[in-house]
Amino acid sequence: MVTVAGAGAFGTALAIALARESGKITLFGRNQAGIEHMRAKRSNPHYLPDCRFPEDLAISNDPGVLAEAATVLLVVPTQHLRAFVLQHRKQLDGKTCVLCCKGIEKDSGLLPSSVAGEILADCKIAVLTGPGFAAEIARGLPTALTLAAKTDGAALQALLSTQTLRLYLSDDVIGAQLGGALKNVIAIACGITLGAGLGESARAAVMTRGYAEMLRLATEMGANATTLSGLSGLGDLALTSTSAQSRNFSFGFALGKGSGIADGPTIEGIATARATLTLAKRRGVDMPLTGIVTAVLEQTLTIRQAVDALLSRPLKPE
């Protein structure tokens, strides 16, 4: 039995896609009123109002469904993952836990797999990441993602793949997570670039140099460079940096236009920028774009100053 923990847009989309083909799937959420509303409407009106739930998709706010499942997909924002796992540790320990969040924990600098691994000693950890928008997955549009696992990866790949959700297997858990986390920071930079009116050529330059930053830090942290050139790195970067459906890109675009930083949907790149910069400095990795994005987010640089800082960097070989 598979349970998807997290009834936001991406968790709901994964549950719909799996239930459409793979039989009984349970979607777990903690908001009782929201779960009851979804159960009555057979949809998630807040996030995916136009996507009806398949008959085999069960909806629950009972933590017991976590204990009953052999495999749990944890679709919880990275900054809330530790609290969720601590709260449900008894139900999750001993399971196969598939982490579906993208980011770096801001206080510890840990990747999601390390956060979960600290708490769930007997849990098998895997990571599901890559270029996929929730609305498209829920509608059954073709999507390819990376499934990274150290053990039992092939069985998990077969369990979670569908006709429209194609999973490519990797054993590089570190690289898969870093690709998914770091691209959010570069997507914000790309949004700022277009929002500030610098043009498509400038965005292409930001994406390319941003990818170079991602690669430098990831390989320094033990990732395989080929992982970053795949779906979980370059593929996710391309999608997130070029589409208005991307929350990180849209957030950056609004910043570039002159909007302030306001509360709203989860923008993983905000917390990840500071955590990434801290890691980069600790390891002696040069990440100028990440530094500039962090300074803009912390309001120590204006957009104009950020543009000037980028354009005034010394010329160097590519």
- CATH number of the domain encompassing residue 213: 1.10.1040.10
CB-count exposure of residue 273 (10 Å: 0-12, 13-18, 19+): buried
Task: Report if residue 317 sits inside a domain.
Answer: no
Q: What does the pLDDT average to over 281-287?
A: 95
122 and 209 in one domain? no
Looking only at Cα atoms, what is the longest distance across the chain? Answer: 61
pLDDT digits (tens, 9 = 90+) for 27-65: 999 889 999 999 999 999 999 999 999 999 999 999 999
Q: Which residue, of 171, 189, 205, is where some domain finishes?
A: 171
Distance CA 200, CA 61 (A): 45
28 and 149 in one domain? yes
67: which 2 tokens? 């204990």
b/e per residue 205-223 (b: at least 16 CB within 10 A)? ebbebbbebbbbbbbebeb
200 and 302 in one domain? yes
Q: Distances in Å between the alpha carbon of 124 and those of 77, 152, 170, 236? A: 20, 9, 15, 25
- What sections of the chain are H helices per DSSP? 9-22, 32-41, 64-68, 78-87, 89-92, 112-119, 134-138, 153-160, 173-195, 200-220, 225-228, 236-240, 247-257, 268-283, 288-297, 303-311
Running DSSP on this structure, what letter comes out for residue 234?
I
163 and 14 in one domain? yes
Query: Side chain identity at 260, as an amino acid letter?
Result: G
Give the CATH number for residue 128.
3.40.50.720
89 and 140 in one domain? yes
Contact between residue 188 and residue 254 where contact means Cβ atoms under 8 Å apart: no
pLDDT digits (tens, 9 = 90+) for 77-89: 999 999 999 999 9
218 and 120 in one domain? no
Distance CA 19, CA 230 (A): 27
- pLDDT, residue 259, reads 81
Distance CA 236, CA 179 (A): 8
pLDDT, averaged across the chain? 94
259 and 145 in one domain? no
Contact between residue 179 and residue 227 where contact means Cβ atoms under 8 Å apart: yes
Instruction: Of 44, 21, 147, give the one whose Cα is nearest residue 96.
Output: 147
Task: Report if residue 192 sits inside a domain.
Answer: yes
- % of the chain with per-residue pLDDT over 70: 97
121: which 2 tokens? 């000693």
161 and 33 in one domain? yes
Q: Which residue, of 148, 171, 194, is where some domain finishes?
A: 171
> Three-state DSSP class for 170?
strand
290 and 203 in one domain? yes
216 and 269 in one domain? yes
Q: Is the pLDDT of residue 261 over 80?
A: no
275 and 181 in one domain? yes
Task: Give the residue numbers annotated as catalytic, written as ranges.
Answer: 183
Q: Is the pLDDT of residue 263 over 90?
A: no
> Three-state DSSP class for 3?
strand
Q: What does the pLDDT average to over 143-150?
A: 97
Distance CA 79, CA 250 (A): 20
Domain enclosing residue 262, as ranges:
174-311
Please count the structural domains in the chain: 2
Q: What does the pLDDT average to over 140-153?
A: 96
pLDDT digits (tens, 9 = 90+) for 172-211: 999 999 999 999 999 999 999 999 999 999 999 999 999 9
Task: Report if residue 28 sits inside a domain.
Answer: yes
154 and 24 in one domain? yes
- % of the chain with per-residue pLDDT over 90: 88
